[in-house]
Structures are given as structure tokens and as C-alpha cells.
């Protein structure tokens, strides 16, 4: 039996937190079915997702980033551009692209926030894996109908 392959793209900014989403993702989808890719930051994820989708290897692609207010730029614009790009990639390539790109209202580099967000990302990774499994199953049912 052939298993569906999944791609998991993670932004390197705040990697100690972002990498926890992969931990949650792998709780539901076996590691041998997941190819993991690093992106320099959130803005690079849509292009990488498009490259991965074009290979035809993946049933779904999950992209994960933590976009925070760095005080220099409008992080909400960055987050919106990332999500818009990921949705467009999915529609343009016919491969589901799931976003675990989160933008907290407030984030401080404190032990409390780092621990809380790391825990939250594990949960979000599980949710992304569940969504990936569900969309692959639903699309297979539609094609088989």
C-alpha cells in the first residue's frame, strides 16, 4: 500500500517555538511520510510551497511560522501576505497548502511566552496534521465518486 506523502515547511525565525508544530504534526502523521523543509522566514514559505506542490509528490503541504511585531515593520501585513500567498499556491497548483502561520497580539521574549507559544504550536501542528489527513481523504473520495 502506498502512503500519501506530506511536506512540512517551517520558518527559521523563532525556531524553538515554530519547530514544536512539527512535533504535533508528527504525532498524527508518521515521520516516514513527511518531508521537512526550512524556509529563512515566513515570506519565503509561499514560494517554497509552490516549488514543492509542482513536484506532484505531496498530498498536502503544511507551512508554519510565528510572525511577531518586531517594532520595525507592520507584522500584520507580513502575516496577511504569507497567508494570501499560501492560499494562492493551493488554488494555483491544486495541492492543499495549510497555514500554521500565527500572529499573536502580543509576544515578548520571556520564558513564560516562549513556553506558552511552544505548547500552543504543538497543538496547532496536530490540527494541521488532522486537516491534511482530512483534505486528502475528502479529495480522494471526490475523485472516486
Distance from C-alpha of 17 to C-alpha of 96, rounded to nearest angstrom: 24
State the CATH architecture for 5-144: 3-Layer(aba) Sandwich (3.40)
Considering 5, 74, 126, 139, which one is annotated as catalytic? 74
- pLDDT on residue 144: 82
DSSP, collapsed to helix, strand or coil, labels residue 118 as: helix
Average confidence score pLDDT of the chain: 85
Assess whether pLDDT exceeds 90 at residue 43. Answer: no
Is 74 marked active-site? yes
For the chain, the structural domain boundaries read 5-144
Q: Which among 118, 140, 141, 137 is positioned nearest to 129, based on CA atoms?
A: 137
- pLDDT on residue 71: 58
- What are the tens digits of pLDDT across the range 85-132? 889 999 999 999 999 876 655 555 656 566 766 777 899 999 999 999
DSSP 14-83: THHHHHHHHHHHHHHS-GGGEEEEEESSGGGHHHHHHHHHHTT-EEEEEEEEE----SSS-HHHHHHHHH
Assess whether pLDDT exceeds 80 at residue 6. Answer: yes
- pLDDT on residue 107: 53
Range of lowest pLDDT (30-39, 97-106, 134-143) = 97-106
pTM: 0.89
DSSP, collapsed to helix, strand or coil, labels residue 95 as: coil
Q: Residues 6 or more apart from 16 whose CB is under 8 A from it?
A: 114, 118
Amino acid at each position: 500500500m502506498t502512503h500519501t506523502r506530506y511536506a512540512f515547511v517551517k520558518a527559521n525565525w523563532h525556531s524553538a517555538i515554530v519547530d514544536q508544530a512539527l512535533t504535533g504534526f508528527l504525532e498524527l502523521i508518521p515521520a516516514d511520510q513527511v518531508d521537512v523543509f526550512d524556509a529563512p522566514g515566513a515570506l519565503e514559505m509561499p514560494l517554497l510551497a509552490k516549488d514543492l506542490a509542482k513536484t506532484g509528490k505531496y498530498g498536502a503541504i503544511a507551512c508554519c511560522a510565528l510572525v511577531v511585531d518586531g517594532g520595525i515593520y507592520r507584522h500584520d501585513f507580513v502575516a496577511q501576505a504569507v497567508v494570501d500567498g499560501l492560499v494562492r499556491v493551493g488554488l494555483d497548483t491544486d495541492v492543499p497548502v495549510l497555514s500554521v502561520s500565527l500572529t499573536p497580539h502580543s509576544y515578548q521574549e520571556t520564558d513564560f511566552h516562549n513556553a506558552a507559544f511552544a505548547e500552543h504550536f504543538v497543538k496547532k501542528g496536530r490540527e494541521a496534521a488532522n486537516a491534511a489527513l482530512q483534505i486528502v481523504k475528502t479529495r480522494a473520495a471526490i475523485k472516486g465518486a
